[in-house]
Structure 1
Amino acid sequence: MTTHPSHILVVEDRADWQDIICRAIVEKGHVAHPATSYQEAVTGLTAHKFDLAVVDPVLDAGNRFNRDGLSVIQKIGELQPGLPIMVITGSLTHDLKASLQHLYPGAPVLFKESWNAGEFSHLVDQLMGLNETAEVVGAEPAETAAESGSGLSPQPNWSVGRPRVLLVENREDWQQIVTAVLDEAGCFWRVARNAQEALREMEQESFHLIILDLKLQQNVLPLRSTEGWLLLDHLVETQPKTKIVVISGKASPGDVADLLTHYPIITFIEKQSFNPAVLQEALAQAVQAPGLRIETFGQFRLWRDGQVIDVWERPQAETVLKLLLIRRARGGRAVAADELITRLWPDSDEESGRKKLLPLISNARRTLEPDIEPRDSHFILRSSNGYFFDLGEGVTWDLLSFREHLRQGRRLAREERWAEAAAELEKGRALYRGDFLAEDRYTDWVIDMRREISTDFCDLLTLLADVYAAQGRYAQAIDAGETALRKDPLLESVYRRLMRFHYCRGEKGQALRVYRDCLKLFEELFGESPTLATRELYQAIAGDQPVECLQKE
């Protein structure tokens, strides 16, 4: 399928800068969607799904108090949350810096006075995931750009792909202690000093973990009546999937027992005996993906942490997962949204298809990981090129294991380590419980993949037969060869192998019978005899001549 260009929203009121930015985008093969006002931007966001937004926070050069661009950024968070944003401006005043920090923390800022098309192009690639390992050159996060104005800066404090933590703590000394641990762990973090700030932060961002101080106030109220404990009660009631670590220096043993017994918290940390390792362990637990086991040989089946996933709320969510897996099986990565829409709803237009796709992706994510928010999925991720299935450490997939056993078996056979090769190949053989995605027998996007994997299985069996023959284990070699012929009766080289193995086992009659079976099949299907090599082997066996028991084909 043809790769579709990325769509980029450009919100800039000045015609000259609109032209400069759009031209740079088009030259990279992307589609630029210009908007000169807040209303035009909102109209575009409602009508199209974008891969990136480039926004000038001031959309009226004649009015220095104009902040319509900030309203656009806020609207992006409502209409297309997660959309990467690049800020481009002539200057960054203190109020702009503070607002950007609140609306889109870590947003990269490019200054018009130091415009460099190469740097802009480089940053576009990184924001859309096209150059994931590159450093951001010439762009500054909003929290530092106001002081320096231009030049080089560290990579922005992106939340994507990093553990996201909200620390709710009113004491500055403990803010510094905890955030130092979070920095060391490579986290994206935010600090709230009270419950209201915490709720506002949670409206702007979803967090893997909330570290909550129970007190949050300088008063003498009972601990259970303090702001922190009330916030804990609120989170447990309204956001039960939230993972929480409670930290306090005022909790009694009874309070701690109550917290650990009646509240779904990960752990309690006593400030007087604070140990960074305990917090690091809690963080690892909060972001840990469940173990996922995938079977695609025979019927499609999934297990999450050992429990079978046998109910899909929407059958098409299962189809999405299969499409993403097949792309990975072919060595690719992402499947474009347009391709998914075409496969799932071939008669839908792009706009209606995208409206149906996003809820379906969320449904698939919830099925795999019901205990987290869909956007925090460890498995179904979004890149600038589409959606992809992440094959992390917690994923085991029978197809990948099968291929690994075949690869190792080939390596060991080349090294003539026959017993080890046989063990690896037998493990791969055991995984092949049936054809790839057998229930989708007539689905067009599965057929070619199934044929390729079937060929790999026959190759494994043929190699296994040779490995056994090299050890003189002809009975096992014959079994592997016959299994290969049941899978593909036209493998002429396997007929020759079976003739050799039977003959070397002292079964001349059986060797000649294999030839006659081959001859009959080829004459019936093709109207011709087997190849010269097969006929000559037959003549040698019939004439009781010496025959190589193992000969490379």
Structure 2
Amino acid sequence: MNWRALLVEDRIDWQSILSRTLMSMGGEVDVASNFRQALALLEHTRYDLAVVDPVLDNANKYNRDGVRVINEIQQRYPTTPLIVVSGSVSHISLPGSDDLLRKFPIIEKQTWNKETFVKLAQDALHGVPLPARHIDRAESVITSSQEMPVAPVDGERKGVPRILIVEDRPDWQVILSRTIEEEGWFWRTVRDAGEALHILREEKIAFNIVLLDLRLGDANIPLQHAQGWQLLDYLTSADLATQVIIVSGEASRGDVATLFMKYSISGFVDKDSFHKYELIGLIRKLTASAKLRIQTLGDFRLWRNGEIVDDFGESAVETLLKILMTRRGAPVSVDELADLMKSESVAAADLRPLINQMRMILEPNLAQPGDSSFIVREGSAYRFNFSTNVRVDFIELEEIQSEGKLYEQEHAYANAIKTYEKALRIYQGEYLPKDRFQQWSVQLRSHIQTKFAKTLNRLADLYARDGRLEEAIATAELCLKQDAYHEATYRRLMRYHACLGNKNTALMVYMTLEKLFREFFQEEPSAQTRELRDSIAAGEPVPCVEINRKSS
């Protein structure tokens, strides 16, 4: 089916959006920007479809040229289907136009949906009666304040993405600002490159994202010489942490290819096929916090998005991070931090730049350090936020230990063994070994070590329960390397060796324990341990699994 459409629209970007959409449906399109051009085209052609913006001068909302075009089409070709595309309902509240416009379906640019438009156009071309939209007086009176959401006040909405919209079209300003406002993000709107440069250079607001229209102004110059494109040159060459998303209705495929090859833009949104959830998803992806993986057991290492971070600039920055992590998410005051970092010769007044340096190391794309997802300020205190995209080995170890206990309680012993074996793989050594003698690390190191020793004993008992006595012995011996004075572990070793028929080895384990306790504590092993020794020495059978495991 060959068909031709008349598009009457004064804006270049919407001419592009609508004409490309119509041509993608297989039609040919004639474009008119004003009443005279439309009238000249109507003199020679009867169109299969007309698409008309009733206001053909965006600066003058009372301009009636588009309505005059609609009236002319109706008089000349009353059977030609017609779709109205408007910047807003208020733009078509023109004297004498209500009755005429009630006859036709209206597509509002603020809520543009390509699929809806295509469906209407296809119905029209196939002779399906188009639904007329009734616009009563209450609906048509929409003030500009209702169309444009109120921008958030400076200082509001901390910790959320901050977006600068650089767009000269009022309708697209509304579309984009509404989209962002619905997400509760911080935003500002400017109309040209000068305003954008001022707010980026002079104001104290640091933006994560700039949504940039490439045209911005004169529609008669080539796109790559347009104001928006020139602003892009600055944004991508200046030392800014701001990421740029191009939002354009005019860029060709070649333009898009040039953008991605020549400029470090973070995304491209085509107004022609605009869908707000795609833009929201892109912004969320770009502003998501980095993913951290931190090793504290056996050594200290940090990976950001899978890459090792081996340069903290100053040793004090690394120490600061370790202290905050050691406090397990509890706020630490500035004064206490300074006291704990005396060995680094750090005063309270020096902490803020160190904290900001640490924030930028963890999340290099922050627009400003205060946006950090990991290092959070609460009054005059700071804390490490473990609830974001971070994996820390000693936290994972505790979670696995708890999971293993649950499996034991459910008598799912095979699952408990697999879970405790994961703990063995995670525990690479003591907590922050290079900071062994630092006051702030002692308590957590002791807690982790004691808990891991108990996990080893539980695993050893599970091995012994299954008759895997060699593995039980190896696990118990590993436990003694964590805590050489843990009496219950010696009893386990005595049982395991006795169950294997190694009576002498079992008694040697007791002798080692007895000597250790006499030398260091001037004590004898407990009555429970001495009774086990006597049973083994007498050749009596003993249980292979420790019965009382409360102190394990």
- What TM-score do you get using the length of structure 2 for normalisation? 0.68
Describe the superposition over 1:6-43 as per-residue Cα deviations: whole angstroms up to 9, x where unpaired. xxxxxxxxxxxxxxxxxxxxxxxxxxxxxxxxxxxxxx
Higher CA-based Rg:
2
Distance 2:222 2:420 in 1: 67
Equivalent in the alignment of 1:184? 182
Describe the superposition over 1:79-129 as per-residue Cα deviations: whole angstroms up to 9, x where unpaired. xxxxxxxxxxxxxxxxxxxxxxxxxxxxxxxxxxxxxxxxxxxxxxxxxxx
The aligned amino acid for 2:214 is L
Q: Does residue 1:495 correspond to 2:490, yes or no?
A: yes
User: Structure 1 383/518 Cα, relative in aligned 2: closer, same or farther at 3 Å?
Assistant: same
Equivalent in the alignment of 1:339? 336
User: Structure 1 454/285 Cα, relative in aligned 2: closer, same or farther at 3 Å?
Assistant: same
- 8 Å contact kept, 1:500–1:548: yes
What SS class does the counterpart of residue 179 from structure 1 fall into?
helix
- 8 Å contact kept, 1:292–1:395: yes
Query: 1:489 Cα deviation (Å)?
Result: 1.6
Distance 2:375 2:173 in 1: 33
- 8 Å contact kept, 1:418–1:468: no
Q: Percent identity?
A: 40
Distance 1:178 1:366 in 2: 29
Equivalent in the alignment of 2:359? 365
Equivalent in the alignment of 1:552? 548
Equivalent in the alignment of 2:68? none
Query: 1:528 Cα deviation (Å)?
Result: 2.8
Q: How does 1:289-308 map to 2 (within 5 A)?
A: 289-308=289-308
Query: 1:527 Cα deviation (Å)?
Result: 2.6
- 8 Å contact kept, 1:334–1:385: no
Q: How does 1:417-432 map to 2 (within 5 A)?
A: 417-432=412-427
Q: How does 1:368-447 map to 2 (within 5 A)?
A: 368-373=362-367, 374-447=369-442
Distance 1:313 1:176 in 2: 44
Equivalent in the alignment of 1:215? 215
What SS class does the counterpart of residue 377 from structure 2 fall into?
strand
Distance 2:253 2:485 in 1: 75
- 8 Å contact kept, 1:298–1:439: no
Query: 1:537 Cα deviation (Å)?
Result: 1.0
What SS class does the counterpart of residue 204 from structure 1 fall into?
coil
The aligned amino acid for 2:426 is L
Q: Does residue 1:523 correspond to 2:518, yes or no?
A: yes
- 8 Å contact kept, 2:377–2:383: yes
Distance 1:453 1:480 in 2: 17
Distance 2:230 2:383 in 1: 40
User: Structure 1 319/405 Cα, relative in aligned 2: closer, same or farther at 3 Å?
Assistant: same
The answer for unaligned runs of 5 or more in structure 2 is: 1-144, 147-151
Equivalent in the alignment of 1:449? 444
Aligned partner (choices 193, 199, 204) of residue 197 of structure 2? 199
Q: How does 1:506-545 map to 2 (within 5 A)?
A: 506-545=501-540
Q: Does residue 1:463 correspond to 2:461, yes or no?
A: no
Distance 1:416 1:515 in 2: 31
Equivalent in the alignment of 2:285? 285
Query: 1:385 Cα deviation (Å)?
Result: 4.6
Equivalent in the alignment of 1:242? 242
Equivalent in the alignment of 2:78? none
Off by >6 Å, runs of 4+ in structure 1: 154-157
- 8 Å contact kept, 2:236–2:265: no
- 8 Å contact kept, 1:314–1:363: no
Distance 1:520 1:395 in 2: 46
Query: 1:347 Cα deviation (Å)?
Result: 10
Distance 1:304 1:501 in 2: 44
Q: Does residue 1:482 correspond to 2:477, yes or no?
A: yes
The aligned amino acid for 1:433 is Q
Distance 2:343 2:417 in 1: 46
Q: Does residue 1:175 correspond to 2:173, yes or no?
A: yes
Distance 1:184 1:501 in 2: 65
Describe the superposition over 1:327-377 as per-residue Cα deviations: whole angstroms up to 9, x where unpaired. 11xxx42211121222234898xxx93442121112212222334343332
Distance 1:262 1:394 in 2: 32
What SS class does the counterpart of residue 245 from structure 2 fall into?
strand
Query: 1:420 Cα deviation (Å)?
Result: 0.9
Query: 1:218 Cα deviation (Å)?
Result: 4.5
What SS class does the counterpart of residue 332 from structure 2 fall into?
coil
Distance 2:216 2:518 in 1: 87
Distance 2:280 2:408 in 1: 45
User: Structure 1 404/347 Cα, relative in aligned 2: closer, same or farther at 3 Å?
Assistant: closer
Distance 2:507 2:461 in 1: 20
Equivalent in the alignment of 2:268? 268
The answer for unaligned runs of 5 or more in structure 1 is: 1-142, 145-153
- What TM-score do you get using the length of structure 1 for normalisation? 0.68
- 8 Å contact kept, 1:166–1:191: yes
The aligned amino acid for 1:174 is W
Distance 1:345 1:520 in 2: 41
Distance 1:321 1:208 in 2: 24
Q: Does residue 1:224 correspond to 2:219, yes or no?
A: no
Query: 1:448 Cα deviation (Å)?
Result: 2.0
User: Structure 1 275/395 Cα, relative in aligned 2: closer, same or farther at 3 Å?
Assistant: same
Describe the superposition over 1:275-329 as per-residue Cα deviations: whole angstroms up to 9, x where unpaired. 223212220221122221100012211111221111221111111101110111x
User: Structure 1 483/322 Cα, relative in aligned 2: closer, same or farther at 3 Å?
Assistant: same
Distance 1:212 1:410 in 2: 55
Distance 1:354 1:451 in 2: 28
Equivalent in the alignment of 1:253? 253
Distance 2:422 2:356 in 1: 36
Distance 1:262 1:240 in 2: 17
Distance 2:518 2:352 in 1: 55
The aligned amino acid for 2:524 is S
What SS class does the counterpart of residue 166 from structure 1 fall into?
strand
Distance 1:528 1:336 in 2: 44
